[in-house]
Amino acid sequence: MDPGIERHPFEPFLPGNAKVLFLGSFPPQPKRWSVEFYYPNFINDFWRIMGIVFHGDKDRFVDTDARKFKLLEIKSFCEEKGIALFDTATAVRRLKDNASDKFLEVVEPTDIASLLERIPGCGAVVTTGQKATETLCGLFGAEEPPMGGHIHVNLEGRELDFYRLPSTSRAYPLPLQRKADAYRRLFEDLGTLPADSR
């Protein structure tokens, strides 16, 4: 295999009760991981957003002293709430030595249909970045959903809601609370979070 090609380091996380599949682009390089799991970079705010949305506490899943996320609690939370996780690429080439999607070449897109076969109760897919959104739009043959919104798509006969949510990277210029509000609306739509839980 081309030595410049990286294969995805994690297995898809697919709880049997999954209602929603979150899809980023691809994990950062291992030197940027605080845990061996999705959204591992300590300065990525995905798990802080989950803490705000479900617990009103951005540090609910954060071990501040160790500068890492609470992996066992995160996995248990995702299993309880029916949150599946993977990425839109299974193999990439980094054009620069950084985690930026802008310099990520997708060599092998993920077979999303085969992932969804393993989580039959999942009715929503969510992209958390521009590269992931572009990759999924190509797969669905769809226009990009509006930021913070969703469209209805059909993938090999399966009806799905395709959500585009703000990137949880701090490079995306939106305050943390506003990002959390967009994610809260998704979970309200899914019935995972009561509408009056603010």
d(CA 164, CA 182): 10
Q: Is residue 43 part of a domain?
A: yes
Q: Is residue 162 part of a domain?
A: yes
- Average pLDDT score over residue span 52-80: 97
Per-residue pLDDT tens over the stretch 149-189: 999 999 888 999 999 999 999 989 899 999 999 999 999 99
The most distant pair of C-alpha atoms in the chain lies apart, rounded to whole Å, by 52
This prediction's pTM: 0.93
Q: How many domains does the chain have?
A: 1
Q: Is residue 96 part of a domain?
A: yes
What pLDDT is attached to residue 105? 85
What pLDDT is attached to residue 100? 62
HEC-encoded secondary structure of 36-80: CCCCCCCCCCHHHHHHHHHHCCCCCCEECCCCEECHHHHHHHHHH
Per-residue confidence band for 4, with pLDDT thresholds at 50, 70 and 90: confident
Q: Is residue 196 part of a domain?
A: no
Cα-Cα-Cα-Cα dihedral sign, residues 25, 21, 169, 136: positive
Phi and psi torsions of 127, nearest 5°:
-100, 145
d(CA 67, CA 49): 16
d(CA 3, CA 95): 13
Closest CA to 83 of 193, 168, 178: 193
Q: How far apart are the first and last CA of the chain?
A: 50
CATH code at 25? Answer: 3.40.470.10
> Residue 160, CB half-sphere, CA atoms under 13 Å: how many?
29
What pLDDT is attached to residue 94? 86
What pLDDT is attached to residue 98? 61
Provide, rounded to the nearest whole percent, the portion of the chain with pLDDT above 90: 78
Show Cβ contacts of residue 66 under 8 Å, excluding neighbours closer than 6 positions: none
Per-residue pLDDT tens over the stretch 77-130: 999 999 999 999 999 998 877 656 677 788 999 999 999 999 999 999 999 989
Q: Write out the residue range of the structural domain in which residue 121 sits.
A: 5-190
Q: Is residue 198 part of a domain?
A: no
Q: Is residue 195 part of a domain?
A: no
Per-residue confidence band for 2, with pLDDT thresholds at 50, 70 and 90: low
Phi and psi torsions of 95, nearest 5°:
-85, -15
Q: Is residue 197 part of a domain?
A: no
Q: Is residue 164 part of a domain?
A: yes
Per-residue pLDDT tens over the stretch 125-147: 999 989 899 999 988 889 999 99
Give the 3-state secondary structure of residue 118. Answer: coil
